[in-house]
Structure 1
Amino acid sequence: MTTHKFNRSLVCIAVSASLTISVSAFAQENEETKNQEKEGIEQIVVTGSVAGRSQIESAISVTSIDDEVIRNFKPNSEVEMFRLLPGIQANGNNGPGGNANIAVRGLPVATGGSPFVQIQEDGLPTVLFGDMQFGNNDYWTKFDASVARLESVRGGTATTFASQAPGAIINYISHTGEVEGGFINLTTGLGYDEKRVDFRYGGEASDSVLYHVGGYVKNGRGPLDPGFVTSDSTQVKGNLTKYLDDDESYIRFNFKAADTQEPFYTGSLALADINGNKISNLRPYPTMDGRTDSNLSALNQTFLIVNRDGAVERVGMSGISTQALAIGSEVHYVLEDDIIIDNKMRWTDMSGSFNEPFHGPTLTSNVLGSTVNGAVVGSIQYANGQQQGQDYDLPYIDTNTNVSTQMNDVGSLVNDLTISKEFDLDGNALAVRGGYFYMNQKIAMTWHTNRNFRAAGVNRPAQLDLFDVDGNQLTANGLAGFNDNWGACCSRDYDLDYTNTAPYIALDFETDDFILDGSVRRDTVDASGFAIQSSGEAFVTIVDDVEIPTLLPDGNQENLDYSVSYTSWTFGGLYKFNEDTSFFTRASKGNRFNADRQTVSGKINPDGSLTEAGQVAAVDEVNQYEIGVKNRGELLGGTYTAELTLLKGDFTQSNFEPTSTPACPNGGCVLDNEYRTTGFEFYGTYSFDSLYVIANATYTDAEQRAAGASEWQVANDIPEMTYAINASYDLLESWSVGLNMSGQYGSRNGAGVETENKPIFGGNVTYYLNERLQFSIIGQNLTDEFTVRGLNGIVDEPNGVITASPVLGRNLQASVRLNF
């Protein structure tokens, strides 16, 4: 299969066209934004909802975050933005490229990605599976100026109104041009190289036609500056809406073009006090401060791979790159007798690459005297940089892999058709909705995992070469092996095809005092395609006169030919205590399908069917129970909204982990665990005069036990508590200021080691020169706190050395914005 090469010029043309649209009116965007923010739980729900009710009248846990709040929060990645949403829990400071583990409501991520969370754009998934290996769903969706708000449903109807989303739906909802106007915003990093242009514009093309276009262009080295450009991204999204004669029905056409390249931060050394399974007093490593220093390096900005044809090829250390072209439509048609037909469709051509140096430091003394490529290591020298040829004498060395994965095809075709009608039953309302979902998801990838040696504990590390006791060179510019870092499992080539079909039906009954609703979904997933891993028989590739062991995906071809069906359901109710208070309760059973993680793990029979173990592991079943209260009112002269949900859930997961993680140190593990969790979600807003505050918190007591074990243990890789607070205040008529805080505690890695966490503070100041022009400074980690969002492991316990992913240090951006 040929990797799709997206034509960047198409994106640039679209950007230029959007910026030359004639400006016909000025939109009071600041006032519009404030009105949207203050709607709070009165916001009309469009995600996972039968009747499109307001949040306070929806018997589900749902949250809507306005675009201006997100921009002032200044997230450096999608997962940082998700900290604004209750129920979403994520370790890691992964950077703008993505690759985060996104959990929800205490449902841990056993292997990687976001298996229980679906990311959508305008109601359709960007990818069907959130935990595709080297293809997590946070790669493919980027917040930009085209997004009006972020809406999230946790549990409940996420299980029945979407496939592969038993935990949550996170929906990026676009502007559609209802209010004419827009802006262009120019941003630059203060003290570091990063430039970004955000833009959007929309309005009426005629009395019945609306349009909107928006996006961004970004370029630079980023706050960690590895010595070369790591961010080089462009994205444009647009839509055109035609209203029909009844002024209710419409047809909308959508497009998206994206060509992104962003870094994935893999971590650094740090110092800490280690007391058993607890880590505290975190502080920077003396010669590498993870707040400002990078494991990426100009000395390692390209590397060699052996491709599937056996040829040596040089690739760039480009982080996570994506190319996407998506074309879609949305039809909303009101027939006679108020029967409503809705159909959403999107075709996406999508591909990308994952080229990163994983961070895996160990003691240098562990390498000296060890056997590498059949010889005993006698010495280590710098392979490049200013110290090239000199002996390496630092105490730690990075022995982890250079990964190059070509995501040759992650394209899809998705369609969601629904028919709904509301009936009047003696003054009460019965809404009936039936639907049929179809999505074909392709997953075609080629993996290259090279054994590699580089310096550890320094900024922009150099490559290292190993020599035997006789002085013979064992590596070539740090390269010790092609495609063999995790063994024969992980030299892979596969081209998989999954088709998910799902009829579903929902009933919603409403009286003056209460709402009852229930829905059921029947998913069927058909799997086909093939996967090949290495036979384990290595051959030699000569690089710089050094013999490098090489594996290729030349083993037996595993063919997929099976089908799995399963049923999800939810039932809930809401009691309207009064117009300001409602109570709701809900029970749900949701499911998600294990896709590419089932391959080459011994779970596929020679005829393509699932083995008995494969049938057990094919689907993860999630049970959730929740009870909540929603309230709004007056407090201390202002108004507030609040939502509190108590949670309980359980699920069983069986999955294959090919890579090296704390839970699977050498890769190639089958992880069979049961999980259970209790906790709560909170979301609230407060408005007083020119002050506006939003806050959320999620607490979970999550436990796990291995299959067949009797004792439960604290679940790993998920914080006990996550929280975020965002406040803004208008000073006079020309100034506004904001302050935000986010954090977590009770975070353990896959080995069960708990790490101390501290809150991070951010802020923003905006000056409005006039109604069109404004200047802003936005900052993150204003106190320059050294803390981590994820622990990779302990490197040297006696000396308190760990490897972790620190939060970026203090970083500021300045921007100027012109409103049209």
Structure 2
Amino acid sequence: MTSRIRLLASIPALLIAGAAHAQAPVAQAAEAPPAEAAAPEDIVVTGVAQGRNRLDTSVSVSSLDADLTNKLPPRNTAEILRNLPGVRVEASGGEGNANISVRGLPVASGGSKFLQLQEDGLPVLEFGDIIFGNADIFIRNDLSLARIESVRGGSASTFASNSPGGIINFISKTGEQDGGSFQLSSGIDYREYRADFAYGGHIDANTRYELSGFYRLGDGPRGVGYDAMRGGQIKANITREFDRGYVRVYGKYLDDRSIAYLPNPVRVTGRDGDPTYANVPGFSINEDTLHSRYIGSVRTLDGNNNPVRRNIGDGMHPVVKSFGFEGQYEIADGWNVTERFRYSDISGDFVSPFPAAVGDAQATANGFAGAGAQLFHASGPLAGQRIANPGTLGGNGLLASVVLFDVDINSLNNITNDLRLNGKVDLGGGALTIAAGIYNSRQDVKTDWLWTSFFQSVQRDGRSVLVDIRNAAGVSQTAGGTLYSASFFGNCCRRSYDMRYTTNAPFAQLGFEVGRLNVDGSLRYDFGAAKGGIAGDLPGAVTTRAQDMDGDGTISAAERTVAFIPANRTGVDYDYGYLSYSAGLNYRLSDTLAAFARYSRGGRVNADRLLFGPTIDTTGGGLVPGAEPYDFVKQAEGGVKFSSGPVALYATVFNARTQETNYLLSQQQFTSREYEATGVELEGRFRRGPFSLTAAGTYTDATITRDATDATLNGNRPQRQAAFVYQATPQLDFGRVSFGANVIGTTASYAQPANQLKMPAYTQVNGFVLVRAADNVSVNLNANNIFNVKGITEVEEAAIPANQLVRARAINGRTIAASVRFDF
């Protein structure tokens, strides 16, 4: 391991590593002035008591400004985050639902468990991995974005709750520049139309504002034959400055629908350790989806067990109405009080088809309805007609047994408040910096799981149809191809969550600087409670019954098993508390070079993923004896930093030890594991004349050190954890014309922790050409995934099955778009 790190560290020229404009979330110190004269990208405000030059701090921070997202408009938010060093993003879920991790920390399930996503210094959701409520679903990128800032490891453990791996903060414009922009965008080889606007500036010398938003309509990156992407966002803020501080009020309204791309069928040949992934006939893994214009809605029972029709086209449908304010006041020379508050009303839906199995159409029908089963088109142009030759269905003879992940998000409302004091005093020939504060939040998790099932063909361009299956006697065993429960998951998962989680966290930091040496330490104590109730498929519960769903007065075969939520609810009520800490030192070797080291322990509370599992006592609603509802991450890191004019290089060696309890949704499995990850992270930038380059690379050696239920996994590499991930963005800017590329890549990884089937390495190349046709008019032509690579990010199967069909998620195929922007 040591030799591999030395080898990688010896070739920094390979990675003039980047996305590294070194700032960090204003969550840590709002609008603090720089402590030294330095380039703006080298001022750090994260995890330090006062804004400082990056070379004087012992934290790993980076920033992406809006210029990158304007030139290379991402097809979803997760695609932006892949440009942050040390951050691993599986950007294959669509506009949200991405899996995000940092520095080898595990992604055993979905979301961003150990990494917190923030907007303007406060968390989008308190927990980044709420089931069917991943935090990135509720964020949209538009012209309001000023920059994205991140801190990895280190002080993230003590300057935010539930974020021991790091923080990624989306920072909004606040009217510093007078004027605005209007932009029209359109897909060229895909159907999506979008309009963006932003306008801001000064009302008077002390008051400024920003107003922005977007609206879009179309299929999205994959053709489905209907407006799967439809909706938009409006954001506004106003800031009043005064002699000793400022006050800002802001709001956001988001109502948007987009597809959640779940696994789709792909053929795999060869060996587990050297597989070849290929499209099945008539269906592309990176250009198609099981969503279809011919499968629009399903009938089910809602959270109150009343019949309702649910629209599959709602997809990921976040509705967010938020209001907040922040302010800073200088109470004495060098001493500031900063206050942030936000209330977010969050609701919506998550509806998307998940294939529980894909196989030969006739064999699947026989397995469901007995030998001689008959298949009929149940939707689409041929609805009602018998499928005489199932071997030709959809052009490939395949039938998908789909469980519809259908969740009514009643409330993910949250209230957050962060109050802190920071200042500096002279002490013993040095400077003592002090920061202290209290954080409070309340997070709702109120959702109803309304899952159903259906059979559908596997076809491209959104032309899949429902398939009705009848027995040999011609009696239908489905209701037009559908079933009223999660039949292919053993009728599981009819659930209702009505939970509220509170988090309280006092924190403090001390730092001392003398000469070239800077040392600091910080503590955070998180305590809180989980209260509420759950109902559904708890042990011993009955969640299916016979019910006339179509109102014809008879009980059909499909109506014999209708899923419902039992009336009896189990109360949940428990408290928790834990301590996080972080300590670091930094030594300025010269004006351009510094070395640092840091050790941290941070915690993360497990929220709804504990429920319906062995950790909760379903009789009393508390924790089972000996169980703790939180996991710890222990991290050590150290490195060197160099910054001089147009060149910056940063190298960090890290080790992280993680304990984790989790719930794997698609496998209906609870896990308890320990992990270790060791690696090196390189980043930097280079500029000369019209040329600039930013890049980053992270090498990680990660292992499962202990699995509580399956010792055969001990020593294996965690699922989907590649040894090396990298990104690079070279650009040439000649004033009137700019062009460049964005390269994202990963080495191979294992689909599952059994370490059998591999997911191949891939490199995705994006590109852009920007022409400034006039002083205030620019035209952009950009391409995403130019070479149409099949970047596999997730596979459900642990090994190649006999029929050579697996269910996988892949990055989107090639899409080309154009935009025109007017600045005024």
- Between 646-655 and 535-544, report the one with greater CA deviation: 535-544
Q: Decide which of 778, 783, 786 is 1:774's aligned counterpart.
A: 778
Q: Which residue of 2 aligns with 1:29?
A: none
Q: Which residue of 2 aligns with 1:110?
A: 108
Answer whether contact 1:794 1:802 (CA < 8 A) is retained: no
Q: Which residue of 2 aligns with 1:741?
A: 743
1:45-98, CA deviations, whole angstroms, 9 ceiling, x for partnerless residues? 3333321223333211100111111232332222221100111112351111x1
Matched, 1:320 2:316: yes
The residue identity in structure 1 corresponding to 2:297 is T
**3-state secondary structure, aligned to 1:300:** coil
**3-state secondary structure, aligned to 1:70:** helix
Matched, 1:46 2:45: yes
CA RMSD of aligned residues (A): 2.0
Matched, 1:476 2:488: no
Answer whether contact 1:268 1:288 (CA < 8 A) is retained: no
> 1:537, CA displacement in angstroms?
4.6
| Alpha-carbon separation, structure 2, partners of 1:542 and 1:189 | 45
Q: How does 1:435-454 map to 2 (within 5 A)?
A: 435-454=437-456
> 1:797, CA displacement in angstroms?
4.0
| Alpha-carbon separation, structure 2, partners of 1:274 and 1:815 | 43
Q: Which residue of 1 aligns with 2:683?
A: 683
The residue identity in structure 1 corresponding to 2:500 is D
Q: 1:794 to 1:621 in 2, by over 3 A?
A: closer
Answer whether contact 1:757 1:789 (CA < 8 A) is retained: no
| Alpha-carbon separation, structure 1, partners of 2:804 and 2:495 | 37
> 1:320, CA displacement in angstroms?
0.1
Q: Which residue of 2 aligns with 1:25?
A: none
Q: Which residue of 2 aligns with 1:154?
A: 152
Q: Decide which of 800, 807, 813 is 2:817's aligned counterpart.
A: 813
**3-state secondary structure, aligned to 1:570:** strand
Q: Which residue of 1 aligns with 2:249?
A: 253
Matched, 1:138 2:139: no
Q: Percent identical across equivalent pairs? A: 30
Q: Decide which of 549, 559, 564 is 2:576's aligned counterpart.
A: 564
Q: Which residue of 2 aligns with 1:291?
A: 286
Q: Which residue of 2 aligns with 1:32?
A: none
Q: 1:47 to 1:390 in 2, by over 3 A?
A: farther
Q: 1:484 to 1:49 in 2, by over 3 A?
A: farther
Matched, 1:504 2:500: no
Q: 1:465 to 1:324 in 2, by over 3 A?
A: same
> 1:558, CA displacement in angstroms?
1.6
1:551-603, CA deviations, whole angstroms, 9 ceiling, x for partnerless residues? 21206422111110000000001111111111111101010001111112243
- Between 618-627 and 459-468, report the one with greater CA deviation: 459-468
Answer whether contact 2:725 2:747 (CA < 8 A) is retained: yes
> 1:447, CA displacement in angstroms?
0.3
Q: Which residue of 2 aligns with 1:235?
A: 233
Q: Decide which of 627, 631, 638 is 1:627's aligned counterpart.
A: 638
- Between 388-397 and 60-69, report the one with greater CA deviation: 388-397
Answer whether contact 1:623 1:651 (CA < 8 A) is retained: yes
Q: Which residue of 1 aligns with 2:564?
A: 552
> 1:42, CA displacement in angstroms?
3.8
1:760-802, CA deviations, whole angstroms, 9 ceiling, x for partnerless residues? 1111111112211111111111122233233233797456433
Q: Which residue of 2 aligns with 1:533?
A: 536
| Alpha-carbon separation, structure 1, partners of 2:183 and 2:408 | 34
TM-score (norm. length: structure 1): 0.89
Q: 1:483 to 1:291 in 2, by over 3 A?
A: closer
1:530-557, CA deviations, whole angstroms, 9 ceiling, x for partnerless residues? 1101422521233566332112120642
Q: How does 1:194-273 map to 2 (within 5 A)?
A: 194-244=192-242, 246=243, 248-273=244-269
The residue identity in structure 2 corresponding to 1:670 is F
1:260-288, CA deviations, whole angstroms, 9 ceiling, x for partnerless residues? 111111243333433134423x3322211
> 1:458, CA displacement in angstroms?
4.3
Answer whether contact 1:178 1:210 (CA < 8 A) is retained: yes
Q: Which residue of 2 aligns with 1:385?
A: 380
> 1:695, CA displacement in angstroms?
0.5
The residue identity in structure 2 corresponding to 1:455 is S
1:513-542, CA deviations, whole angstroms, 9 ceiling, x for partnerless residues? 021011000000211111101422521233
Answer whether contact 2:299 2:484 (CA < 8 A) is retained: no
Answer whether contact 1:747 1:754 (CA < 8 A) is retained: yes
**3-state secondary structure, aligned to 2:230:** strand
| Alpha-carbon separation, structure 2, partners of 1:524 and 1:239 | 32
1:201-222, CA deviations, whole angstroms, 9 ceiling, x for partnerless residues? 2211111111112222111111
Matched, 1:793 2:797: yes
Q: Which residue of 2 aligns with 1:598?
A: 610
TM-score (norm. length: structure 2): 0.89
| Alpha-carbon separation, structure 2, partners of 1:480 and 1:321 | 24
Answer whether contact 2:684 2:695 (CA < 8 A) is retained: yes
Answer whether contact 2:50 2:422 (CA < 8 A) is retained: no
1:125-182, CA deviations, whole angstroms, 9 ceiling, x for partnerless residues? 0100011011011111122211110000011111000000010100011111122222
| Alpha-carbon separation, structure 2, partners of 1:720 and 1:198 | 39
| Alpha-carbon separation, structure 2, partners of 1:376 and 1:435 | 69
The residue identity in structure 2 corresponding to 1:370 is G
Q: Which residue of 1 aligns with 2:188?
A: 190
Q: Which residue of 2 aligns with 1:612?
A: 625
Matched, 1:757 2:761: yes
- Between 505-514 and 147-156, report the one with greater CA deviation: 505-514
Q: Which residue of 2 aligns with 1:6?
A: none
| Alpha-carbon separation, structure 2, partners of 1:348 and 1:49 | 28
Q: Which residue of 2 aligns with 1:340?
A: 336
Q: Which residue of 1 aligns with 2:300?
A: 305
| Alpha-carbon separation, structure 2, partners of 1:795 and 1:472 | 37
Matched, 1:370 2:383: no
| Alpha-carbon separation, structure 2, partners of 1:363 and 1:804 | 14
**3-state secondary structure, aligned to 1:601:** coil
**3-state secondary structure, aligned to 2:373:** strand
Q: 1:484 to 1:287 in 2, by over 3 A?
A: closer
- Between 426-435 and 50-59, report the one with greater CA deviation: 50-59
> 1:457, CA displacement in angstroms?
5.1
1:648-669, CA deviations, whole angstroms, 9 ceiling, x for partnerless residues? 0111112233x32xxx3xx2x2
The residue identity in structure 2 corresponding to 1:559 is G
The residue identity in structure 1 corresponding to 2:620 is D
Answer whether contact 1:641 1:685 (CA < 8 A) is retained: yes
Q: Which residue of 2 aligns with 1:420?
A: 422
**3-state secondary structure, aligned to 1:641:** strand
Q: Which residue of 2 aligns with 1:706?
A: 707
Answer whether contact 2:71 2:780 (CA < 8 A) is retained: no
| Alpha-carbon separation, structure 2, partners of 1:104 and 1:563 | 28
Q: 1:59 to 1:537 in 2, by over 3 A?
A: closer
Matched, 1:784 2:785: no
- Between 85-94 and 485-494, report the one with greater CA deviation: 485-494
| Alpha-carbon separation, structure 2, partners of 1:110 and 1:725 | 27
| Alpha-carbon separation, structure 2, partners of 1:67 and 1:212 | 15
| Alpha-carbon separation, structure 1, partners of 2:131 and 2:102 | 19
| Alpha-carbon separation, structure 2, partners of 1:341 and 1:330 | 11
Q: Which residue of 1 aligns with 2:16?
A: none
Unaligned runs of 5+ in 1: 1-38
Answer whether contact 2:787 2:814 (CA < 8 A) is retained: yes
> 1:608, CA displacement in angstroms?
2.6
- Between 58-67 and 376-385, report the one with greater CA deviation: 376-385
| Alpha-carbon separation, structure 2, partners of 1:390 and 1:45 | 67
Answer whether contact 2:265 2:358 (CA < 8 A) is retained: no
| Alpha-carbon separation, structure 1, partners of 2:381 and 2:637 | 60
Q: 1:436 to 1:680 in 2, by over 3 A?
A: same
1:180-215, CA deviations, whole angstroms, 9 ceiling, x for partnerless residues? 222111111113221111221221111111111222
Q: 1:40 to 1:714 in 2, by over 3 A?
A: farther
Q: Which residue of 2 aligns with 1:494?
A: 497
Answer whether contact 1:363 1:795 (CA < 8 A) is retained: no
Unaligned runs of 5+ in 2: 1-37
4+ runs deviating over 6 angstroms: none
